[in-house]
Chain A
């Protein structure tokens, strides 16, 4: 193997990050995690645990919510991402799919996909056709509706469009915020399949989920956040067996209670 720089292929490193909103509200305290190249890492936790905040810290959108990283580092490979704008993340190959899909409802499906390449500038336009073909192969349903307004799609289709839009920037790391939220079980299954497929094509995924069962089945590693701090972390299958996770996130009774 030829000599490679220390962090190539790149990995996402979040190191001891503190985040504060509005100079007062502490949302994350000394949180660390790593997403290796090509891996799927799950981030679990209740509402308000800081999962979305962590994604914002990576994607550079904290400022839109008056939040700021007060300590620690975020870097992707050699690229420092903390204190940068979202363009820096997109250009480094890190793209976030926001919670609640947030497709541009008044724009057509095609225009939504085009918008996914906006952060890359000229490079994006050059590779747009190729990226678009890949997305439409992954989501044949969208190919039938390219001229339809995105707001008229079903919830599941909108989620696919939101993921497809992010894929237009050809990310090496995809940040997914609650992709199963509000979807029918069959659609949740389909989204899980899609995530697996995207990962198989070489894109790493940082997956934030309330649906812990789905997330743990996809991920190699998982972290559990609780009120802004890392409570548990480890290999996903091990976490899935721990008592706390089963009781709190998988909705199963703990073993001692089950025996009672």
Chain B
């Protein structure tokens, strides 16, 4: 029983962090039709900045600056690099490949800086734990769940109630009709990239916090588990990204938690599980859980 609750809480915490990453991924795809392969590196950049700045600025200040810088970089990359390629579906494919180049550049430089180190982000939770009835939970995990819930709620409100959100959803449905209404497509797109960058930088904190040992140069790759989450949710659906992330997070936690019972599957099945789940879902629903027919931008 305790193990079960343990796994559920661990899975929710993991899913909440994946949701921050997957939501950014989906917002970028929705706004620009680009699959951002540089998302993991943006996350790593956010984490790295928090790590090197927290001694001077304190955790909150470092995180705020890291979020701002990562958001600004993501927005600038879109506005000044990707958008030069145009707005149609064909250019989106080219731009997707450009993000692979961006990823290589960012990752190479950050790996060089981080090297083999484990960086502490100076988060306030440390290795503190809280007793919740029969289970013991790391404070960092509770924080991940609470912060993600609040931030994701705010992002959904942004979609629904602001002009930017309406512009984004309208442009995702019909680029030309949105342009005819006077939507500034370039700005709306760059805004989406900024938002995604900010979410990635925030997610880095929780991926590096206890029980993880700290920020490593491979932390960005862990975030790639959010990729199957976004796909199984439907890729253009923020609600789908949320559902997909929780599914992936819980799956991973359960597979790791019950590893001894699952040893027929071999060691380390937890790393593969997200992709196995994604494949199973896609076999039944090829467009993802929340993906409508034609949700992909054409």
Whether A associates with B in a native complex is: yes
Q: Are B179 and A102 in contact (CB under 8 A)?
A: no
CB distance from B27 to the nearest CB of A (A): 16
Tell me the residues in window 68-111 of chain B with beta carbons closer than 8 Å to chain A beta carbons.
87-88
A121 to B182, CA, bound (A): 9
Q: Are A118 and B179 in contact (CB under 8 A)?
A: no
Q: What 0/1 pattern do residues 221 to 244 of B give for CB contact below 8 A with A?
A: 000000000000000000000000
A120 to B181, CA, bound (A): 9
Q: List the A residue with the shortest CB-CB distance to B292.
A: A106
Asked if B287 is an interface residue, CB under 8 A from chain A, the answer is no
Q: Are A102 and B184 in contact (CB under 8 A)?
A: no
Asked if A196 is an interface residue, CB under 8 A from chain B, the answer is no
Q: Are A104 and B170 in contact (CB under 8 A)?
A: yes
Q: Are A61 and B173 in contact (CB under 8 A)?
A: no
> Given contacts A87-B182, A90-B181, A169-B181, is CB(A115)–CB(B176) below 8 Å?
no
Q: Which of A89, A104, A106, A125 touches B177 (beta carbons < 8 Å)?
A: A104
Asked if A77 is an interface residue, CB under 8 A from chain B, the answer is no
A165 to B177, CA, bound (A): 10
Q: Are A86 and B177 in contact (CB under 8 A)?
A: no
- Which of B129-137, B161-169, B267-275 is the interface stretch? B161-169
Q: Are B182 and A64 in contact (CB under 8 A)?
A: no
Q: What A residues does B179 contact at CB under 8 A?
A: 61, 64, 85-86
Count B-side interface residues using an 8 Å CB cutoff: 20
Tell me the residues in window 99-125 of chain A with beta carbons closer than 8 Å to chain B beta carbons.
102-107, 111, 114-116, 118-121, 125
Q: What B residues does A169 contact at CB under 8 A?
A: 181-182
Asked if A203 is an interface residue, CB under 8 A from chain B, the answer is no
Q: Are B169 and A104 in contact (CB under 8 A)?
A: yes
Q: What A residues does B182 contact at CB under 8 A?
A: 86-87, 89-91, 95, 118-120, 169
Q: Are B173 and A106 in contact (CB under 8 A)?
A: yes
Asked if A159 is an interface residue, CB under 8 A from chain B, the answer is no
Q: What B residues does A105 contact at CB under 8 A?
A: 173
Q: List the A residue with the shortest CB-CB distance to B178.
A: A115
Tell me the residues in window 268-292 of chain B with beta carbons closer than 8 Å to chain A beta carbons.
292
Q: What A residues does B176 contact at CB under 8 A?
A: 61, 64, 98, 102
Tell me the residues in window 149-194 of chain B with beta carbons closer than 8 Å to chain A beta carbons.
163, 166-167, 169-170, 173-184
Q: Are B180 and A86 in contact (CB under 8 A)?
A: yes
> Given contacts A64-B175, A106-B169, A107-B169, is CB(A87)–CB(B180) below 8 Å?
no
A61 to B174, CA, bound (A): 13
Asked if A53 is an interface residue, CB under 8 A from chain B, the answer is no
CB distance from B29 to the nearest CB of A (A): 15
Q: What is B's interface to A at a CB cutoff of 8 Å?
A: 87-88, 163, 166-167, 169-170, 173-184, 292
Q: List 5 A-B contacts (CB under 8 A).
A: A85-B184, A91-B182, A102-B177, A118-B178, A169-B181
Contacts A90-B180, A165-B181, A169-B181 aside, 9 further interface pairs with beta carbons under 8 A come to A59-B180, A61-B176, A95-B181, A102-B177, A103-B177, A114-B166, A116-B181, A118-B163, A118-B178
